[in-house]
A and B are shown apart, each in its own frame.
Chain A
C-alpha cells in the first residue's frame, strides 16, 4: 500500500503539486490523468524521490520513503520515464538488465529475465536482444523502456506516459499486454497519461489532476457518473459519457436467455462493442458466446437500459 500524505512541490513560489493525498492499494493500477503542466510528472517523481517534496511524505507499506537513501529506494521501484530514456550505447539486453545488474543478480539469471520480458512484450529475444536502441522502431523502444522498468520485479512500478509514442492499434495492444502482465505479477502500478480513454481502459482507480491539485480519485465508473468538478466532466467528455460507461461493462453482466441470430459476440467484450455490433448489422439482439458455447443473448433495449440507469 502506498500512502501519499499532503505532498506538495513548490517551484519559485508556485505550487506544481499542491497538497495531494491519496492511497494506492497493493496490486492495483492507478492512472493519474490531467492536462499538460498539471503536475503529474512531478507527483510521480516525488514518489521515488527524484524530486524531494517541499512538504508532506510518502509511505510505502507503512515505511516513510525518506528513511533510506534515495538511490536505494529507487532500485526497488520500477520507473519508465516519459520518452523511453534507453541508454543508446547499450544493447536491448543490457538496457533491460540494468537494474538487475545494479542489484547484483547473476549473469544467467539476468539473461533469463531479459528473454522472459522480451517474450512478454512479443519481441523475439534472439532477434532483439543484441540490437541497439537506434535499431528499433519508436514503439519497440518504448516497450523496451517498460520492460526495463519491470526487470527486477519491483513491487511498485511508476510509468510516465509509457504509450505516448504508439499508434492507436499498437497502443491498445500494449495496454492490454500491460493489464495482463500486471494481473499475473500482481504488481502495483501508478501510470501517468493525459488520455482519459487510456485512464478508463487501464485504471482500477483514476486520479484526475488539475493545476497541481487532485480534484477527483475514484473508480472509472465513479469518475464518469459523478464528475466532481466541471473540469473532470470536461475531461470525461459530455456526449461520450454513456459510451465510456458502456465500455466498462462486460456483455457477460447482462446476458439473458432467448434467441438471437447472426455473428455472435464474446462474453468478455464490452457493451460498447455490443452496441456497435448491433448498430452496424442492424440487429436488435446478438448471440453471446463463452469459449465455443452459446450462453444466451444480449439485446439493444438491455444495453440502452444500462446506459440510462447509470448515466
Chain B
C-alpha cells in the first residue's frame, strides 16, 4: 500500500534537489552564487549522501509501515545535515576571509518536506500525550546537540549567532517574557471575565463584540496607537516612568499583546463552561452544590480542554506577534528581524525568524499535549444488557 502524502513528499523532495542547495557569498551583505546538491563535495560522499536522502524519501512512500516512514524522515534529515557540513567545508576552501556559506532554497524546501513526512508518520503512529512529550524531548535534544556540536559553525547564520550570543539570549528571554507574560496576564483578567460571561449571557453579548473589535485592529496600528497613549501616561502620571511605562519599549508591546489575547481567553472560557452537559449541570444543582462548587467540580474540569485550547491560540499567536514588538523597541527576536531588514542581511533576519517559528511550534505541541491530558473520559461502550 502506497501512502499518497508520502508519494507527494517524494516528488516534491526530488524537485527541490534541482534548486540551489547552498550559496557562497564573498561577504555578509552581497548576494551569493548557488550550488546544487551534487556540486558540494567529491563524487564519493556526494553520491552516498544523496543516496541516503533518496532512500529516506522512498521509505516515506510505504503507507503500511509508519515506523519505517519515520525512520526514513530521520535518515533524510541526517543526510541533509551531512550535505551541509560537506558543502560548507568544500565551498569555503580558499574562498577568502569574509566569505560566507548559507543553506539555500533547496535545503529549506527539503527540510520542510522531510519535517512534514516525519509529522505524517508520527501521526499515523498516533502516540499518546506522554509519548508525544517524549518525542518532542528527543527532537529538541538532537537539535540542541547539533547546534552545540560545532558541525554547523561554518554556516553564516551560526556565525551571525556566535557574534551576537549575549544579544541572542537576551532576545530569547525578552521574547518569552513578552509572550508568556502577556498570556499569564490575559488569563488572570480573562478567566474571571469568561466566568462572568458564562453566568450572565447579557454581559457576554456586549463584551465579546467589543473584544472582537480589538482583535480586528491590525497589529502595526495597535502598536502605533500604544506609542502616544503610553507616552502620555508615562509623562503625566508620576512614577509611571519609573516602573518602565513609556511610549516605546516593553510596556506598550506587552499591553498590546494582552489586548489581543483577551478575546480567545474570554470566549473560550465562556464556551468551555457552557459545554458542560446540561443534565450534569442540573444534577449538580439538584444535589445542592453552590455556584462556586459547581464551577470547581463540574464546569471547569469539563470545560478545561476548550479553555486550554483558547490559551493555546493565545500563546502561539503572541509568540508570532511579539516579533512586531521589535519595531517599537520591545525587544525579542523581532529586533534581529528589523535590524536585518534595515541592513538587508538575510542571516540576521533568519536569526530572528527561525527561533520564533521553533518557539511557536514547540508551544503549540506542548499545549496540544496539555489539552489531550485534560480530555474527560468520553469513551462510549455500546449499549449492552446490564
A residues engaging B (CB < 8 A)?
A: 48, 50, 70-76, 79, 81-89, 98-99, 102, 123, 132-140, 143, 145, 148, 167, 170
CB closest residue in chain B, given A83: B279
* Pair B283/A86 contact, Cβ less than 8 Å: yes
* Pair A48/B379 contact, Cβ less than 8 Å: no
* Pair B386/A137 contact, Cβ less than 8 Å: yes
B303 to chain A, nearest CB (A): 10
* Pair A71/B289 contact, Cβ less than 8 Å: yes
CB closest residue in chain A, given B380: A134
The main secondary structure of chain A at its interface with chain B is helix
6 residue pairs from A and B, CB less than 8 Å apart: A71-B289, A75-B287, A81-B279, A85-B279, A86-B283, A87-B298
* Pair B377/A85 contact, Cβ less than 8 Å: no
B residues engaging A (CB < 8 A)?
A: 277, 279-280, 282-290, 293, 297-298, 301-302, 376-381, 383-386
* Pair A88/B289 contact, Cβ less than 8 Å: no
A137 to B298, CA, bound (A): 22
Q: Which residues of A contact B288 (CB under 8 A)?
A: 70-76, 99, 102
* Pair A137/B385 contact, Cβ less than 8 Å: yes
* Pair B377/A89 contact, Cβ less than 8 Å: yes
- On whether A143 and B386 interact (CB within 8 A), knowing A48-B286, A134-B381, the answer reads yes
B287 to chain A, nearest CB (A): 5
Q: Which residues of A contact B284 (CB under 8 A)?
A: 87
- Summed over the interface, the residue pairs from A and B with CB atoms below 8 Å come to a total of 89
B293 to chain A, nearest CB (A): 7
CB closest residue in chain A, given B285: A50
The main secondary structure of chain B at its interface with chain A is loop
* Pair B376/A140 contact, Cβ less than 8 Å: no
B300 to chain A, nearest CB (A): 10
- On whether A139 and B377 interact (CB within 8 A), knowing A71-B288, A87-B283, A102-B287, the answer reads no
B376 to chain A, nearest CB (A): 4
A48 to B376, CA, bound (A): 30
Q: Which residues of B contact A98 (CB under 8 A)?
A: 287
A134: contacting residue among B285, B297, B378, CB under 8 A:
B378
20 further A-B contacts with Cβ under 8 Å, apart from A71-B289, A88-B277, A170-B385, are A50-B282, A50-B285, A71-B288, A72-B288, A73-B288, A74-B286, A75-B287, A79-B283, A79-B286, A81-B282, A81-B286, A82-B279, A84-B279, A88-B376, A102-B288, A123-B386, A134-B379, A136-B381, A137-B383, A139-B385
A170 to B383, CA, bound (A): 13
- On whether A135 and B379 interact (CB within 8 A), knowing A74-B287, A98-B287, A170-B385, the answer reads yes
Q: Which residues of A contact B286 (CB under 8 A)?
A: 48, 50, 74, 79, 81, 85
A16 to B72, CA, bound (A): 68
Q: Which residues of B contact A170 (CB under 8 A)?
A: 385-386
CB closest residue in chain B, given A76: B288
A69 to chain B, nearest CB (A): 9
CB closest residue in chain B, given A151: B287
A81 to chain B, nearest CB (A): 5
A51 to B179, CA, bound (A): 46
